[in-house]
Structure 1
Amino acid sequence: MHAPASPARLTVVAAVVLAFCATLLVGGGAEAAGSKDGLTGYAFDARCAPTQEQMDAWLTSSPFWGVGIYIGGSTASCQTSATDPGQPHLDATWVSRQRSSGWRVLPIWVGPQAACSSYADLIDPNPAGDYAAADARGRAEATAAVVRARELGIKARTTLWYDLEGGFDVADEDCRRSALRFLSGWTEALHDLRYRSGVYSSISAGIHALDNADNLSPGSYEMPDQVWFAWDNDRANVDVDQRWVRKDSWEGERIHQYQLHTDAAYGGVALTIDRNFLELDGGSQPPRNLLACGRTDLDLRSYPRLRTGRSGDAVEALQCLLRKHAGYRSRLDGRYDTQVARAVRKFQRRHDLRQTGRTDPATWTALFAQGSKPLVKVGSSGDAALRLERALRAAGFGSVKVTGVVTDRTTRAVARCQRRVGLDPTGVVTTDTWKALQTGAR
């Protein structure tokens, strides 16, 4: 995240005092909060919190669900002092509004850096007591981060991310081991305060050092719950380079920063950001059961035009949809009779479709899309994702796979559908896109 050096430098003694004072402020038990749902998708970090207008514009036009923001620390680039993060827009109201809108806020703390780096505030490399000074400083930073997180309304069991910038020499033993001991202290203190620990660093520096230590001397250091690795390879995934990190390390608990310091514009709003792809808390999970009406398979290879006299699996799927959305009460027997035709005509009349009693692509599309109109992007899962995927396939976008988890392939089809109906082709499913699908996407 390339935080610039700060003139502030806390001594170990000051850090311990800070830890003690912060503990008094925090008090005994941290407020419990339920763990977040798994998410696979895109995130950006802009260091400084954007304005509410910028966040709102990006919410409905960008692919991002996550936003990384500096909340404090001696080396945070938005900071004006050791206790004031200097973020003009960041407060508890800002955090609350983003979370209620659907953003996943990724709080980042940027304190002392590796002893062999060029920053002003450095981790103490003194090896005495198995790098006791580094451990104490890590604990102090964690405690201060929790105090700030609570001020912002960021609850327990949220991951607080420590930004350990790359570019330091992992072959320097005191530098590497003091950094590891610092991060171990950070993680242990966060766990004591009922928060989760995340570490951001270069895949070939801090993350490599952590994984190598866990591999060669398991149990010597407390490992973070999640990792955020910088690897500027332009690939939006969470795959690691096994020269640096084992394939199964932190599987399902990674963020990959794949583009650094890039200009991006969505919804007419331009920001300079880092682009990330994330898979956290196990990633977005598909629904367990894709069948409907108890036993009916809605996911056919194609959705043919149907009329009275037809029969088969497609008719049974149609009957199931009509039962849900048009008051059809007869058996799901796969026969297109007059009752089916009557229900089709009723549905068509309600949704501004041609009232023919025959089932065409527009009718299939509208039937599948019926329901609520939530915001949907890459990583969205569950009922809305299923309805979207099925509606797109019925509308002629056969490349879409029905999984219950929205992917890049899905959003590319959304953009093509949006062009077809005269909407801005963002690939983000908003209320207007749902309305178009629910009236046949014509």
Structure 2
Amino acid sequence: MPHVLTRLAVLASAAALSLATLSVPTAQATDQAAAPRAGSTVQVPGSFTGYGFDACSAPSQQVMDAWRVASPYSAVGIYISGSLRTCPQDQLTADWVRTQARRGWHLLPIHVGPQASCAKKEYALEMSLDRATAGAQGRAEARSAVAAARSLAIRRGSILYYDLEDYDLAPDDCRQAALSFLSGWTKQLHAQGFDSGVYSSIGAAITSLDLADRVSPGSYAMPDDIWFAWENGRANTRTDHRVQGKRWDRHARIHQYELDTVKTYAGTSMQIDLNWVDVGRGSVGSPTRRMCPGVDVDLRRYPTLRKGSRGAAVKAAQCQLRKQRFTRARPSGRYDAGTVKAVRKAQRRLDVRVTGRLDRRTWVALLSRGSRPLLKVGSTGDPVRRTQRALGAALGIRVRVDGLMSPRTSKAVARFQKRERLTRTGNVTTETWQRLQAGG
């Protein structure tokens, strides 16, 4: 996250937006929720496990809308404050924050101020080597970050991340001063009702915090979340020997796995850092609630059924038909005349060929029927289950039905999109829903 001011040079502050074009998919952007009412506040980042990015400047609304539909990202790091924040933030307002939160973005607020005196680059502002003074500086930076957060409609309970760039752990005085600074940052945030996060290289502040927590517990206040830079190209939150403790194991980590890369979605480009985010309660799947007593609708395969068919798949089909009010009959496991009638009724409503047989297209349309929210990696709930069942039927493969839009589910979506000659985003967009609900 090298977006801080050095004595040697100022990084290209407008790089994140200067590459942007104005080609935005307006048809799918229109399903956005309305902006929140004026004066409301939001708690960030919320609960989420999935892809995120951070950019030097907060992107425009047009870019955010384009990337919301076309990119895999659902979290975005934004520099809200700090004396070493260099990039222009013309877009960053309370209304911008409210709008992104309402549209499903998980915001990661970043504050960047004094750096360690033993930093591996030279910075315009350094923290004191005196531990007491460094602690006081950390508290002052926290007060500044809270004031900025409040001005941006970010409320108590949110996580604010301190950006502490790479530094040398060898000098004891510098390392201890950095720990005291971060301890002051955490204590002050807690005093003001906010949670504490720390961003740094995995081999710098993150290693130092973990070691201090294990060998000298209680000497320093520990952050609630860590955000570690480790450019290994792996979208996960696993660490190596440099982080051995378990304090941040339960949905309290972000991994920045790729730096300074240009990504383009929907004709709109930005220079960004890539992150895998696991915060709050995370994105967690859950078992399917039985729609009909004793009937499992999450099948390994959805075979073609016709009059005279029997078994578990028939029960699953009858349960779906009953749930969607194409019949009132309870599942019997026998594909009888009543089932044929219900299937024909469903086929007419679903606008697929009316045969009375439950073929692949009818399965896909029936299983996917319902609302059409945008689904991306990290989405959860019943719409994800409908998608997973429909993909299994459409592709003839086993898709785990757990209500969690995982990278594996996203790959299955992309496979379906390729077969249907749709844009391969891996996201379940309005266009993808339409094709699923038409039977593929």
Paired position in structure 1 for 2:420: 421
Contact 2:210 2:245 in 1 (8 A): no
Contact 1:170 1:209 in 2 (8 A): yes
Paired position in structure 2 for 1:380: 379
CA deviation vs aligned residue, 1:168-191 (integer Å, no higher than 9, x gap): 111111111111111111111111
SS at match of 1:256: strand
How far apart in 2 are the matches of 1:295 and 1:151?
A: 54
Over the aligned positions, Cα root-mean-square deviation in angstroms equals 1.6
Paired position in structure 1 for 2:76: 67
Contact 2:388 2:400 in 1 (8 A): yes
Normalised to the residue count of structure 1, the TM-score between the two structures is 0.89
Displacement after TM superposition at 1:416 (Å): 1.8
Paired position in structure 2 for 1:11: none
Displacement after TM superposition at 1:290 (Å): 4.5
Paired position in structure 1 for 2:54: 45
How far apart in 2 are the matches of 1:6 and 1:232?
A: 21
How far apart in 2 are the matches of 1:250 and 1:372?
A: 36
> Which AA in structure 2 matches 1:367?
L
Paired position in structure 2 for 1:108: 110
CA deviation vs aligned residue, 1:94-120 (integer Å, no higher than 9, x gap): 111111110001110001111212211
SS at match of 1:319: helix
Contact 1:70 1:110 in 2 (8 A): yes
CA deviation vs aligned residue, 1:82-104 (integer Å, no higher than 9, x gap): xxxx4111101111111111000
Paired position in structure 1 for 2:126: 122
Match of 2:100 among 98, 120, 139: 98
Contact 2:44 2:159 in 1 (8 A): no
How far apart in 2 are the matches of 1:397 and 1:175?
A: 59
Paired position in structure 2 for 1:28: none
Cα separation, partners in 2 of 1:154 and 1:397, compared to 1, 3 Å: farther
Displacement after TM superposition at 1:237 (Å): 0.7
Paired position in structure 2 for 1:364: 363
CA deviation vs aligned residue, 1:419-438 (integer Å, no higher than 9, x gap): 22232111111111111111
Q: Which runs of 5+ in 2 are unaligned?
A: 8-39
Displacement after TM superposition at 1:282 (Å): 3.4
> Which AA in structure 2 matches 1:108?
I
Displacement after TM superposition at 1:385 (Å): 1.2
How far apart in 2 are the matches of 1:247 and 1:295?
A: 44
Paired position in structure 2 for 1:261: 260
Contact 1:352 1:439 in 2 (8 A): yes
**Equivalent pairs, count:** 405
Q: What pairs up with 1:41-440 in 2 under 5 angstroms?
A: 41-78=50-87, 86-117=88-119, 118-126=122-130, 131-166=131-166, 168-242=167-241, 244-246=242-244, 248-251=246-249, 252-440=251-439
How far apart in 2 are the matches of 1:59 and 1:277?
A: 16
Cα separation, partners in 2 of 1:90 and 1:302, compared to 1, 3 Å: same
CA deviation vs aligned residue, 1:281-301 (integer Å, no higher than 9, x gap): 232111244533243211222
> Which AA in structure 1 matches 2:110?
I
Contact 1:165 1:201 in 2 (8 A): yes
Contact 2:318 2:331 in 1 (8 A): yes
Comparing 135-144 and 401-410, the one that deviates more = 401-410
Contact 2:46 2:106 in 1 (8 A): no
Cα separation, partners in 2 of 1:36 and 1:325, compared to 1, 3 Å: farther
Normalised to the residue count of structure 2, the TM-score between the two structures is 0.89
How far apart in 2 are the matches of 1:36 and 1:114?
A: 27
Contact 1:138 1:183 in 2 (8 A): yes
Paired position in structure 2 for 1:16: none
Contact 1:326 1:343 in 2 (8 A): no
Displacement after TM superposition at 1:332 (Å): 1.3
How far apart in 1 are the matches of 2:41 and 2:99?
A: 20
Q: Which runs of 5+ in 1 are unaligned?
A: 8-30, 79-85
